[in-house]
Amino acid sequence: MSFHDSKVTLPAGANPLAASASSVAELSKAKAKAKARPSKAMIDRYHWYEVAALYAGIAVFLFFVLAPFIEGFLVSLKPLAQLFSTPYSFIPKTWSFDAYINMWTSVPALGMHIFNSFFISSVVTLIVVAIVVPAAYSFARFNFGGQALLLGMFLAVNMFSGAVLLIPLFRLMRSLGLLNTYFAMIVPGAAFLIPSSIWLLRTYMMRIPRELDEAAWVDGASRLYTLRRVILPLAMPGIVVVAIMTFIGAYAQQFIFALTFNSKTEFMPLPVGLFAFFGKQEVIWNELMAASFVGILPVMIVIIFLQRYLVAGLTAGAVKQ
């Protein structure tokens, strides 16, 4: 794929990012094919033992991926006394939903932590999108000296983790007066998500035909107007992918900044807020697991519905041709 291939036409409403990579799209295509042809292609036919081996392999693979969640869920249903008893039993002997009730009193701010996680990730997403859209457009459409160098610099930022820069970041947050505020987590969080988002959106915008900009220019539209009225609507699917990827990034990785730059309980996001369960003499594991599940459930459900955008974002973002 070439970036300078601006001749690629973009059908209205099409989403090349999603379409090229989405497993769902692949699947529906496959389904359509299957409908058109009565039998499955010969090449995709398996012997019964091959099918059995595939399912066995998938079972092992998914067990590795999901075991902590299954175990965590079962733990949340076991009374604490049973949890701390031997011999070990995978399935709860007695089922109890007490953990889901008691956790709200054990960690009074739990609701706040769940909200904070969501709130911080949302603000990070807004900041990143607002900054990334113009920057990606600039990289996608204009040529100026030092552009390649700047792009390389942005990409290099990707490679440094916040953990390495913690000391100066701490000093910076302190001198900006942001320590122990939401912004202590939002500001650095957004910084490390900007570069990959620029890259992703730039790739997407390069596929929008240049002729469209030029036509608008000829018609006397200003540059800003062109960006707002021509490019933005066409780039919307790409912007949605960037927003979702950013939200996931902000949501899944909030820990170290929250741990180091904030000590106020009311601002803590879920992962750090859950530390409260460790503070007692004995870790209240069943409530910790219950709180984890309740805390992540809303976001999980939304993400399952958006999963094809994730696949699209991951492939376009990581390939970096």
Partner 1 sequence: MTSSRSATIFALALLAPALIYILTIVAYPLVDTIILSFTNASLKAGYDFVGWANYQRIFGVGNFTEVIVRTFIWTFFSVTTKMVIGMAGAVLLNAAIPGQAVFRILTMPPWIVPMAIGIYMWSWMYNGQFGMISGLLQNFGLVGGPVAWLAYGHTAFWATIVTDVWIGVPMVTIYFLAAMQSIPKDLYEAAWTDGAGRFYRFRRITVPLMVPAIITMSLLSLIATFNSFDIIWILTQGGPSGSTTTMIIDTYKTAIGSRKYGEGAARAVVICIFVSLFCLAYFRAVRKLQQGEAK
Instruction: Please report, as residue ranges, which positions from 95 to 124 form the binding site for partner 1 (by CB under 8 A).
Output: 117
Report if residue 143 touches partner 1, rule: CB under 8 A: yes
Closest contact distance (angstroms) between CB of 310 and partner 1 is 7
In SS3 terms, the chain reads as CCCCCCCCCCCCCCCHHHHHHCHHHHHHHHHHHHHHCCCCCHHHCCCHHHHHHHHHHHHHHHHHHHHHHHHHHHHHHCCHHHHCCCCCCCCCCCCCCHHHHHHHHHCCCHHHHHHHHHHHHHHHHHHHHHHHHHHHHHHHHCCCCCHHHHHHHHHHHHHCCCCCCHHHHHHHHHHCCCCCCCHHHHHHHHHCCHHHHHHHHHHHHCCCCHHHHHHHHHCCCCHHHHHHHHHHHHHHHHHHHHHHHHHHHHHHCCCHHHHHHCCCHHHCCHHHHCCHHHHCCCCCHHHHHHHHHHHHHHHHHHHHHCHHHHHHHHHHHHHCC
Closest contact distance (angstroms) between CB of 266 and partner 1 is 19
CA 137 to chain centroid, in Å, comes to 22
- Of 11, 152, 220, 279, which one interacts with partner 1 (CB under 8 A)? 152
Q: For partner 1, which stretch binds (CB under 8 A), given 6-14, 144-152, 201-209, 234-242?
A: 144-152
- Of 19, 24, 126, 212, which one interacts with partner 1 (CB under 8 A)? 24
Q: How far apart are CA 197 and CA 192, in angstroms?
A: 10
Closest contact distance (angstroms) between CB of 165 and partner 1 is 4
Using CA atoms, how far residue 210 sits from 9, 136, 205, 226, 240, in Å, is 10, 15, 10, 11, 21
Closest contact distance (angstroms) between CB of 111 and partner 1 is 16
CA 215 to chain centroid, in Å, comes to 36
- Of 112, 274, 276, 284, which one interacts with partner 1 (CB under 8 A)? 274
Site string for partner 1, 68-87 (x = CB under 8 A): xx-xx--x-------xxxxx
- Of 5, 44, 219, 282, which one interacts with partner 1 (CB under 8 A)? 44
Closest contact distance (angstroms) between CB of 218 and partner 1 is 9
Residue closer to partner 1 by CB (options 127, 237) is: 127
Closest contact distance (angstroms) between CB of 279 and partner 1 is 14
Place of tokens 């099409």: 14
Number of residues that bind partner 1 (CB under 8 A): 115
Closest CA to 267 of 116, 125, 122: 116
Instruction: Please report, as residue ranges, which positions from 214 to 243 form the binding site for partner 1 (by CB under 8 A).
Output: 214, 217, 223, 227
Are 120 and 185 spatial neighbours (Cβ–Cβ below 8 Å)? Answer: yes
- Of 8, 101, 148, 164, which one interacts with partner 1 (CB under 8 A)? 164
Report if residue 186 touches partner 1, rule: CB under 8 A: no
- Of 171, 174, 228, 264, which one interacts with partner 1 (CB under 8 A)? 171
- Of 17, 18, 21, 103, which one interacts with partner 1 (CB under 8 A)? 21
Residue closer to partner 1 by CB (options 12, 128) is: 128
Closest contact distance (angstroms) between CB of 115 and partner 1 is 14
Residue closer to partner 1 by CB (options 9, 90) is: 90
- Of 183, 251, 267, 309, which one interacts with partner 1 (CB under 8 A)? 251
Closest contact distance (angstroms) between CB of 84 and partner 1 is 6
Report if residue 38 touches partner 1, rule: CB under 8 A: no
